[in-house]
Amino acid sequence: MSGTTAKLLARHQFFQGARLAARRNPYRCLSCSAQNAQQQNTPPPPGQDAPKTTHFGFETIAEALKEQKVGAVFSSVASSYDTMNDLMSLGIHRLWKDYFVRNLNPGSNPLTSPSTTVQGWNILDIAGGTGDIAFRMLDHASTINNDAHTRVTVADINPDMLAEGRKRALETPYARSPRLSFVEANAEHLTNIPGNSIDLYTVAFGIRNFTNKDAALREAFRVLKPGGVFACLEFSKVNNSLFDAVYKRWSFGAIPLIGQLVAGDRDSYQYLVESIERFPSQTEFRDMIKDAGFLVPGRGWEDLTGGIAAIHKGVKPIKAQN
Amino acid sequence: MASPLKHSLARPLVQSSSSCAASRVLLLPASQRFFSVLNRPPPNYEGHIPLTKVERGALAIGSALWSFRDPRRGDLIAALGEATAQPFFIDHLRNRMLLSPTGRRILRDRPRITSTTLSIPRLRSLPSNTVGYAYAAWLDREGVSPDTRAAVRYIDDPECAYVMQRYRECHDFYHALAGLPVFREGEVALKAFEFANTGLPMTGLSVFAALTLKKREWQRFWEIYGPWAVRNGLLADDVINVYWEEELETDVDGLRTRLGIEKPPDLREIRKAEREAMKRAKEAKESGTVLS
């Protein structure tokens, strides 16, 4: 009995030793031998001042490059943007956007609002290239509030997304009216928009792509009228940890795969899910909004679908804060 | 008496093997370690994306169905190839390369075929019976370029990833060698040949695209090109072991004889003749009806 177990033990240890030896040299493939011989490890040249870096998904890149890389992502997803949104959120993004607009209630009924006010709201929709939010705002103002003067300016940094938006606008009644305009603008430097001119500043699923969110928040503060509202719809942190586990696995497993099958572009969707992961939490973002000078109503945010998305609001104070 | 002894010997064995198992797991390459999509292991080569088994299965099924519906999505066919080649088939192909001296040289040198490494104008200037001329002529006739091949991303072992990349880049050379054109009928016939020769599952699955062929095309595949593909694929030498960069100036027919491949009937000529015959029959019928 002990003889056979001793033999088993010896054999086990012999194979373990062989496995250890094999593990020490992982690269046993034929072509790697030639390559290992050729490779000479040159030390990297000493860097000059390290450029300021930011994150691009989970990558760390130079700040100057982020805009360009995000631009490339959105140019490549522009035409299949809606299909992808539908697949990624299983169509729920439509409900979120509907609720976002309904909750903001744009437009003021001319019969009930005081006659001294300027007719209609001046709404600025940032990063709203394909026009999802803009069309909903205009429809809500026209049909629910009977306001035919509310106008929306859609600003986006990416001309391909704007082109897509202009194309879709043709199917709405606002295409050639003064109520809808499309401009190419960088949210961090809104040079064409005068200060204190906007009633409602919205950004839906755009701010997580900005290189400098604080700069965008400050610009928002500048262009809003006193009493104007800043509203942001964005992906956020899920509250429930069990749901979060499922949601993260769906995000990192299924979404890049769907991106590959539908759009032939795994990398853009990998970036998208990584940028969602990197976005600050609800409380952190509310604090950033406060730091820009906004007054934050109540808790400052509202969770949608368990925290997958969140609506953050801020109001520009009427009197300057001391 | 025996049981306490067995017990005391068994327990240290179990303990040591479990701690060794834990440390062993950390050192295993991506293809053997269990990981989730949230903590993928680091890539083994540039562009490498380690996939979990579920992801790989989903990619295989999704790309198979989608590329069946839309065969123009070459990137999905490529992804299908990568998702289904592991763990056995691509290793087997790589081992067959290792068995041949030329295959070993290819694996050592790792040459890449792009429009920069191969000068197409130079190939056009070669004598018309050479492999290089046939390849350039075929590229011109079909209107394609060697740069349209996607990089391999989902195969874990770097050497097997190179074998897959090499197969993908040499696909146009196989077209030139066989003389088969680039539309569906020719591609299906070539894929059947590649399946018989290389054994990659994607090539075999691509033959299901033959179900979408028209009746006459299917008949031709069943009678001529299918049997040609199986016969030649199985009996010929491995085409993956041909060092194309060195064979550019050799005689095409000589290469075919060396490999043991017979040239199939020219598919474009057959289709052209068939189209003309149908046109003549239609004209005859119309003139017949006009006269009568």
User: Which pLDDT tens digit goes with each residue over B170-187?
Assistant: 988 888 888 888 788 888
The binding site of A for S-adenosyl-L-methionine consists of 130, 156, 186-187
Amino acid in position B273: A
Contacts of A274 (CB under 8 A, 6+ apart): A57, A58
Instruction: Check B55 against A253: CB less than 8 A apart.
Output: yes
Nearest to B66 among A30, A253, A261 (CB): A261
Task: Sort residue A105 into left (φ over 0), alpha (ψ -120 to 50) or beta.
Answer: left
Q: Which helix (H) or strand (E) holds A230?
A: strand A224-235
Burial class of residue A150, CB neighbours in 10 A (0-12, 13-18, 19+): buried
For residue B228, the model assigns a pLDDT of 93
Rounded Cα distance between B74 and A241, Å, is 40
Full DSSP string of A251-294: IIIIHHHHIIIIIS-HHHHHHHHHHHHHS--HHHHHHHHHHTT-
Secondary structure letter of residue A189 according to DSSP? B
Neighbours of A43 (CB within 10 A): 5
CA–CA–CA angle A107, A108, A109 (5° rounding)? 120
- Residue B100 corresponds to which tokens in the numbers above? 């041949």
Sign, CA torsion B173/B175/B179/B182: negative
Taking only the tens place, the pLDDT of each residue in A221-274 is: 999 999 999 999 999 999 999 999 999 999 999 999 988 998 888 888 898 899
Alpha helix positions (H), chain A: 2-24, 30-38, 63-77, 81-89, 92-104, 132-143, 159-169, 213-223, 241-249, 255-258, 266-278, 282-291
Instruction: Calculate how close chain B gets to A274, using CA atoms only, in Å.
Output: 11
Q: Assign residue A297 a region: left if phi > 0, alpha if psi is -120 to 50, beta otherwise?
A: beta
* Amino acid, single-letter form, for residue A167: K
Beta bridge partners of A61: A54
| CB-CB under 8 Å, B63 with A261 | yes
Q: Are B272 and B131 spatial neighbours (Cβ–Cβ below 8 Å)? A: no
Task: Give the range with max mean pLDDT: A45-49, A148-152, B180-184.
Answer: A148-152
- Give the 3-state DSSP-derived string for A128-154, with helices as H, strands as E and coil as C: CCCCHHHHHHHHHHHHCCCCCCCEEEE
Q: In the predicted model, what is the mean pLDDT of residues A101-110?
A: 92
User: Across the interface, which of B6, B13, B107 has its CB nearest the CB of A31?
Assistant: B107
Q: How far apart are CA B225 and CA B180, in angstroms?
A: 10
Question: Residue B27's CB: how many other CB atoms inside 10 A?
Answer: 12
The domain ranges of chain B are: 85-276
Distances (CA, A) of B24 to A18, B17, B19, B27, B44: 13, 10, 8, 5, 18
DSSP line for B105-163: HHHHH-----TTTS-HHHHHTS-TTBHHHHHHHHHHHHT--GGGPPPP-S-SSHHHHHH
Are the C-beta atoms of residues B228 and B186 closer than 8 Å to each other?
no
Chain A with chain B: Cβ pairs closer than 8 A: 68
Which two structure tokens, joined as six digits, stand for A198? 């906007």
Amino acid identity of B168? Answer: R
Beta-strand relationship, A122-126 and A151-156? parallel
CA distances from B79 to A90, A309, B15, B63, B167 (A): 24, 32, 42, 7, 13
Mean pLDDT to the nearest integer, A139-164? 92
Domains and CATH numbers, chain A: 76-315 (3.40.50.150)
Q: Tokens representing A111?
A: 């019969």
pLDDT band at A49, cuts 50/70/90? very low
* B25 touching A (Cβ < 8 Å): no
pLDDT attached to residue A295: 95
Q: What is the pLDDT of residue B17?
A: 46
Q: Are B281 and B199 in contact (CB under 8 A)?
A: no
Distance CA B175, CA B253 (A): 14
Compute the nearest-CA separation of A158 from chain B (Å): 26
B276, B284 Cβ separation under 8 angstroms? no
Residue B290 to residue A113: CA distance in whole angstroms: 80
Angle of CA points B76, A90, B56, to nearest 5° = 35
Instruction: Answer yes or no: are the C-beta atoms of A138 and A129 closer than 8 Å.
Output: no
User: Can you give the pLDDT at residue A25?
Assistant: 46
Pairing of strands A301-304, A198-204: unpaired
pTM of the predicted structure, to 2 decimals = 0.75
Contact indicator for A292, A203 with CB cutoff of 8 Å: no
Peptide bond into A280 cis (omega under 30): no
How big is the CA angle at A159 (ends A157 and A160), to the nearest 5 degrees? 120
CA nearest to B55 within chain A: A253
Q: What is the pLDDT along chain B (292 residues), one digit of tens a residue?
A: 444 444 443 344 444 444 445 555 555 555 566 888 888 888 889 889 999 999 999 999 999 999 888 878 888 999 999 999 988 899 999 999 999 999 999 999 999 988 888 888 888 899 988 888 888 887 887 777 777 778 899 999 999 999 999 999 898 888 888 888 878 888 899 999 999 999 899 888 888 877 888 888 888 888 999 999 999 999 999 999 999 998 888 988 899 999 999 988 888 888 899 999 999 999 999 888 766 5
CA Rg, chain A, in Å? 26
Q: What is the pLDDT of residues A273-317, one digit of tens each?
A: 998 999 999 999 999 999 999 999 999 899 999 999 999 999 999
B62 CB within 8 Å of a chain A CB: yes
Q: Kindly report the nearest CA distance between residue B63 and chain A, in angstroms.
A: 6
A9 and B9 in contact by Cβ < 8 A?
yes
Per-residue confidence (pLDDT) for residue A137, from 0 to 100: 96
Q: Determine the Cα–Cα distance for residues A213 and A188; give it in Å rounded to an integer.
A: 8
Chosen for mutation from A261, A267, A269, A273 (greatest number of chain B CBs closer than 10 Å) is A261
* Residues of B in Cβ contact (< 8 Å) with A29: 107, 157-159
Chain A residues within 8 A (CB-CB) of chain B?
1-2, 5, 9, 12, 16, 19, 23, 26, 29-35, 248-249, 252-254, 257, 260-261, 264, 266
**For residues A216-251, b (16+ Cβ closer than 10 Å) or e, as one string?**
bbebbbbbbbeebbbbbbbbbbbeeeeeeeebbeeb
Closest by CA to A301, choosing from A288, A319, A316, A317, is A288
**Mutation site for B-interface testing, chosen from A28, A247, A260 by largest number of B Cβ within 10 Å:** A260
Cα A188–chain centre separation:
15
pLDDT at position A56, please? Answer: 78
Q: Cβ of A31 and B13 within 8 Å?
A: no
Q: What is the pLDDT of residue B235?
A: 93
pLDDT at residue A307 in the model? 92
Q: Which residue has the tokens 């990349």?
A: B165
Inspect the interface and report whether the beta carbons of A19 and B9 lie closer than 8 Å. no
User: Is residue A41 very low, low, confident or very high in pLDDT (cuts 50, 70, 90)?
Assistant: very low
Total Cβ atoms within 10 A of residue B18: 9
pLDDT attached to residue B13: 40
Angle at A275 between CA A78 and CA B48, to 5 degrees: 85
C-beta atoms of B58 and A257 within 8 A: yes
pLDDT confidence bin for A117, thresholds 50/70/90: low
